[in-house]
Structure 1
Amino acid sequence: MAPGSWRTAARSDSPLPTGSALRPRRLLALAALLTGAAVALTGCFGGGGGNGADGGTGDFIDDGCTHIVVATSSEKVNMLDALADAFKESPEHDGLDTCATVRPINVSSGDATRFLTASQDSWPNENTELWPTLWSPASTVWTERVAAAGSPALVGEPESFTRTPVVFGMPEAMARALGYPASPVSITDLEQLCSNPRGWASVGKDVWGSFKISKTNPNTSTTGLSAILMQSYEASGKTSDLTSADVAAAADFSRVFEECVIHYGDTTGKVLNTLYDETQNGAGGSGYVSAVALEETSLLNYNQGNPDSHTVQPGETLKPPKEKLVAIYPEGGSMWSDNPITVLGADWVTPEQTEAGNAFAAFLQTTAAQRILPEYGFRPLDESVPLGDLFTGEYGVDAAGPAITLPRPSVDVVSAAIDQWTQIRKPSSVLELIDISGSMDDPIGDGRSKLDGAIEGAQSTLSHFRSSDEVGVWAFTTDIESEAGKGIAVLRDVEPLGSDRESLDTSLDDLHYATRQGTPLYDSIALAYDNMVARAEPGRINAIVVLSDGQDTDSSISLDSLIAKISQASREGGDDAPVRIFPIAYGEGADSSALQRIAEATGGQWFDASDAAKIDLVFASVINNF
């Protein structure tokens, strides 16, 4: 088994722990707040494992100890669970009047920032036992943003305990085509490949097609935020003292860079999963993506056979990819995710939890704790601790990299970079295809039907799109027909959104009164795909979002024929303007296997909304890709 893979804490990948629920109206208000800032709720509250918890599904086990939760970015859940076990045996724990049980839960750095900025007296989870005492985002950038929003006491005094650089992961063959490892590769080198219409042919690789980058949304992701700051550093020629004026001057450089983006993943894990599946099921290489902006620790997990950095379960065997990714430490420098931890000054944190939280934070600085970090692909701050076997070329990294460290800019510069990205990010053309079959009347347990949840999820994400983005909405069931074909109702053609948000909101409300019959899922996807392929343009993210709660019951085309159709279209001239499908498997009856195959055939991603009450969060996570 690969180093660091022995932890077996049960953890959920869903946005909320099973058994917990959000107050529906409060959730909708919160979702509207976050998506209004172009933020999606992604991967929140996936529970940690042992340490007195019931497997990540609800309350702590009653062990007589003070219970404290650490809200942390996903890649640290496994490591913090191991650190929580070690803490129990530490002098820092022995010094407490009452024993303490620590439990990590997964909340993206950007989402936690919005939650804390919005409220100091509550947390959006009905289960108060899972409200955090400690917060460990991937970067101090996020704690500074909360403090700058008027809540410095809330985030206390963050202190880093580990770090990992932001790199560009590239398939080894592609990196070697750019001179790796003998010659350093710069962000300018990548930008030139983006701007050159010949793509990979410009460096002698005619059959590789265009150069494609995957990045995450900087509103929720530290790697996405670091990447746009690194672009500004590169364009300015600076290695320190980045200013808002530098960011503004870098707009054209960064815009070219964004044009290479295949789509903005909500997490690097989903992109890496798609890449991993393509390499394992093919000849070893993949044309899906050329470079992925990610943290070094995520690259290490990928090369061990754990592309989404999930918790390895008992009996699970990791299988390394056929072609590893190698870390490109940009010649102009890398930013680091410095992974602070802080005790929150929130109203819900008790004095006993504050004391235990401070003890755990102190323990993380000890040599005993620092020795655990490299097992999970993180670099210790204690320089006396060896990095170990993971930090070698075998796993695609260079223990001596990066050569240049780019400092974290001030809060106003970070804000300027995020605001700029909102304007220059790659434009999108998205068709939302919504199932309105009879089963959509089923309740989802929070006073809403499945259809209510789908409508409200779609409405709450409209503010994510710019007026220049193209948005269309179709609904499908049997016994209806439109100019788009049988089984389709066109609520809105795919066209620039402009000032039509309110009218589209009203059109979505009309679905409450629509006829609801059978489920021609495959036929509807085929019609939507033909429509989008015919109008797809290079330089845009062309995508279909499919929401379905059931099995196909009424299509004339089979699943295999649909897969063959969209796979062929993707191969034949689809490299310049691919149409990717992002299905949402909605409720327990959804055909997750079929929807996953459909997504994979186009290089898209599928999303699990088997807990239908979480559809608001999942819908926002999907839209975060555009």
Structure 2
Amino acid sequence: MSGPQHAGGTWDRSGADPARYFGGADGPVPREPRLPPPRGRAATLVPLAGAVTLATLLGIGVYAFASAGAACSGGDAVTLDVAVAPGIGPAMVKAARRFNADRLQTNAGAGGSPGGGRCARAVVRKADPAAMAALLAGRSVPQRNERRPDVWIPDSSLWTALAAPAEANGAVEVTRTSVARSPIVVALPRTLAATLKSQGVTAAPSWDNLLQAAGGTAGGAVTKNATIPPGSVRMLVPDPARTAAGMHALALTDLLLANDPNKDAIFTGMVRTVRESTLPTVEAQFTRFRPARTGKRPIALASERDVWAFNRTGPAEPAVALYPQEGTLSLDHPFTITTADPARRNAARRLERAMGSEAVRADVRELGFRSADGKAPGSFTAQTGVAPARPRELPAPRPASVRQVMQSWSKLSLGIRILTLIDVSGTMAEPIAPGTTRLQATARTAQSGLSMMSNDTELGVWAFSTRLRGDQDWRELVPVGPLGERIGSATRRQAVLSSLGSVRPKTTGDTGLFETLTAAYREMTLGYKPEFGNTVLLFTDGKGNDDPGGPSLERTLADLRAITDPARPVQIIMVGVGRGVDTGELRQLARVVPGAVYVAESPDQIVKIFLRALARRIGG
């Protein structure tokens, strides 16, 4: 790693140009003029520059080592280690230079005693917010050259919510000072935005409409505004575990669904919809913005500043920011104090006050951020794809809500391993809606559910009735395995779709539920994979087991208890399809193993129950 070296306010030409060092996507940063060193300080500059060069070679990632001169270079000086998000780095380097030049005195002497007249200086380095949050929370072991800073300025307060529980590692104090702001927006390719505008689509669609347009499930409490046609776009999301924009997307969804009784199911549908379109970085999303193509066009979740920076690179397909009508959340770059040392805390308070200067506000606007007061840069125009007007701000989520939503994402985004059991007994030919039988509704739900499953999902399908294969009550249609894996001349996904499309009821068949469920539970337990959520998903007519030659309920309960292994948990989801479902036996089975029973009286209810079943992972 190489970086700009700075001593006494002068950029060393041996270091990288700040504009290149911080990356092209961050926008240009004016080069500092090379000034002659002040008299009496020449001897100090060389060893300082050498020390920073060594630090850079070691990979510490120092942005600037700004000294306030001899008064701040002694062993008694208070040096603040300031870790900042990469995008805001150039402005923080300038702020540190001005702070150091002021030679401010702390109010704490050696050992934290009052007075002492110790000079304060700041050293700024870049730090990935996700990695720093994990380090401060004690969730990661420090790697080479990683350390706890005295001041941390991540790109979002959401990271501090994940870092705050680390009581053993010292307090994380999030001050009220925001260094810069950048609202979360929806970025569209400019040609797509023009097409939608010509079709009369509003420039401020709702978040709910955007989710529907991307193929997700609408929310009951989210504002409806059907503008972009459902299923017409592909929503890209930067990884919520690694990016603030992705984490804000989850927080927004959670916030807008707060009062919806189907919140978990809708959130689950959203996660499964976007899981396969999750990219590692915000910048990776924009690589999908290409001149007009057939099929679904991409839309991305990003910060306003990301759109501005991308468009300044002169792409063939620029981006346009949409500002959803309900409002949005912003990356707020909070000034966070992470040291318990009295002298350093005192110096941090002084640095915090310095962050409120007009010079700092101007510097962050030059980088494409709004200043803390919400003022937009003068470069925010239609040409750069962003609007200068302040968007409506939604209330910031509480830290506990942030932690909960990230835990939910972690569980729901894991792989899924499902063995689906479909009842093909004679009663499944009964209608559940005009022109639709119970079996047809079940098969269609299972087919549509495949669209939420990525290729690494492991899935298998059995049909069951009575005596489908000799005396055996079940027959394997597709063995369990990755959907993207080839089975003969087709993928498993294609094989599942084909089997579901061709399944027919056995008109003379009864319901051999007990034998089938026991065999399926045994197979999934034996083949258990800890990196997946392992599930048996059963659809039945709800009439209970009516196989005279099969095992009794008592025998089945005993067999399931014997198979159950707490170290290899497999949940059973049982769905009774149609009216008049008798759930008595099903509920007894669910009490023996980790399981749940649902009743669907219409095709729409089957879809909702499918999502509710997946959502059980949030609580488990």
Give 2:91's aligned residue: 79
Q: Residue 134 of structure 1 corresponds to which residue in structure 2?
A: 151
Q: TM-score, with normalisation over the residues of structure 1?
A: 0.50
RCO higher in 1 or 2 (8 Å CA, sep ≥ 6)? 1
- Among 158, 161, 185, which residue is 1:144 paired with? 161
Aligned to 2:471: none
* Residue of structure 2 equivalent to 1:49: 63
Q: CA–CA distance in 2 between the matches of 1:225 and 1:210?
A: 24
| SS of corresponding position for 2:63 | coil
CA distance change for structure 1 residues 173 and 262 in 2, over 3 Å: closer, same or farther? farther
The residue aligned with 1:395 is 384
Shift of 1:334: 0.5
Q: Secondary structure at the match of 1:185?
A: coil
Where 2:277 maps in the other structure, the secondary structure is strand
Task: Identify the match of residue 210 of structure 2 among 177, 190, 194.
Answer: 190
Q: Secondary structure at the match of 2:395?
A: coil
- Alpha-carbon contact 1:125-1:131 (below 8 Å) kept: no
Q: Contact 1:218–1:225 at 8 Å: present in 2 too?
A: yes
The question of whether the paired residues in 2 share the 8 Å contact of 1:214 and 1:289 is answered with: no
Q: Is contact 1:211-1:290 (8 Å) kept?
A: yes
Partner in structure 2 of residue 294 of structure 1: 302
From 238, 243, 251, the equivalent of 1:216 is: 238
Letter in 2 for 1:303: N
Q: Is the 8 A contact 1:71 1:105 kept in 2?
A: yes
**Partner residue of 2:288 out of 275, 287, 301:** 275
In structure 1, the partner of 2:266 is 252
**Match for residue 614 of structure 2?**
none
The 2-side partners of 1:467 and 1:116 are apart by: 33
Which residue is equivalent to 1:168? Answer: 186
Match of 2:319 among 325, 332, 348: 325
Matched residues, percent identical? 22
Tell me the residue number matched to 1:535. 491
Q: How does 1:348-363 map to 2 (within 5 A)?
A: 352-363=343-354
RMSD, aligned α-carbons: 4.7
Does residue 370 (structure 1) correspond to residue 365 (structure 2)? The answer is no
Following superposition, the deviation at residue 114 of structure 1 comes to 1.7
Change (3 A) 1:415 1:271: same
Q: 1:454 — aligned with what?
A: none
Aligned-partner SS, 1:104? strand
Question: CA 1:189–1:167 in 2, change beyond 3 Å: closer, same or farther?
Answer: same
Q: Is the 8 A contact 1:231 1:250 kept in 2?
A: no
CA distance in 2, matches of 1:530, 1:117: 43
- How many residues align structurally? 371
* SS of residue in 1 equivalent to 2:164: helix
Report the Cα distance in structure 2 between the residues aligned to 1:415 and 1:137, rounded to whole angstroms: 17
Residues 356-380 of structure 1 deviation map (CA, whole Å, 9 limit, x = unaligned): 3332222111222112111011111
User: Structure 1 residue 411 and structure 2 residue 399: aligned?
Assistant: yes
**CA displacement at 1:169 relative to structure 2:** 1.0
Q: 1:325 to 1:531 in 2, by over 3 A?
A: farther
Letter paired with 2:190: E
Are the equivalent residues in 2 in contact too, given 1:165–1:334 (CA < 8 A)?
yes
Deviations 1:515-554 (A, max 9, x none): xxxxxxxxxxxxx99899953749x9xxxxxxxxxxxxxx
Match of 2:566 in 1: none
| 1:345 CA displacement | 2.5
Alignment correspondent of 1:114: 134
Q: In the alignment, what sits opposite 1:158?
A: 175
Q: Retained in 2: the 8 A contact 1:75–1:298?
A: no
Instruction: Report the Cα distance in structure 2 between the residues aligned to 1:144 and 1:99, rounded to whole angstroms.
Output: 29
- Change in CA separation of 1:302 and 1:334 when aligned onto 2, cut-off 3 Å: same
Deviation at 1:295, TM superposition (A): 1.1
- Post-superposition Cα deviations, 1:371-425, rounded to whole Å, max 9, x if no partner, equal 2111011111236xx53322222211111142x3111222332233223323444
| Kept in 1: contact 2:78–2:120 (CA 8 A) | yes
Q: In structure 2, what is the Cα distance between the partners aligned to 1:258 and 1:74?
A: 30
- The structure-2 alpha-carbon separation of the partners of 1:151 and 1:365, relative to structure 1 and needing over 3 Å to count, comes to farther
> 2: CA distance between counterparts of 1:154 and 1:533?
59
- Structure 2: unaligned runs, 5 residues or longer: 1-18, 33-54, 108-116, 218-225, 418-452, 459-478, 497-620
Deviation, 1:132, is: 1.6
| Distance 1:4-1:18 versus aligned 2 partners, 3 A rule | closer
Q: Which residue of 2 aligns with 1:549?
A: none
Would you say 1:98 and 2:119 are equivalent positions?
yes
Q: Distance in 2 between matches of 1:154 and 1:377?
A: 32
CA distances 1:567-611 after superposition (whole Å, capped 9, x unpaired):
xxxxxxxxxxxxxxxxxxxxxxxxxxxxxxxxxxxxxxxxxxxxx
Q: 1:168, 1:326 → 2: CA distance?
A: 8
1:118 maps to amino acid: G
Unmatched 5+ stretches in structure 1: 10-16, 22-44, 54-60, 237-241, 306-319, 430-465, 472-492, 498-527, 541-626
Change (3 A) 1:372 1:18: closer
CA distance in 2, matches of 1:533, 1:379: 55
Separation in 2, partners of 1:204, 1:216: 22
Equivalent positions of 1:192-591 (< 5 A) are 192-195=212-215, 211-234=233-256, 236=257, 242=258, 246=260, 249-252=263-266, 255-256=269-270, 258-272=272-286, 274-275=287-288, 279=290, 290-305=298-313, 320-345=314-339, 352-382=343-373, 387-402=376-391, 404-425=392-413, 470=457, 495=481, 535=491, 537=493
SS at match of 1:291: strand
Secondary structure class of the residue paired with 2:214: helix
Given that 1:48 and 1:103 are in contact with CA atoms closer than 8 Å, whether structure 2 keeps it comes out as yes
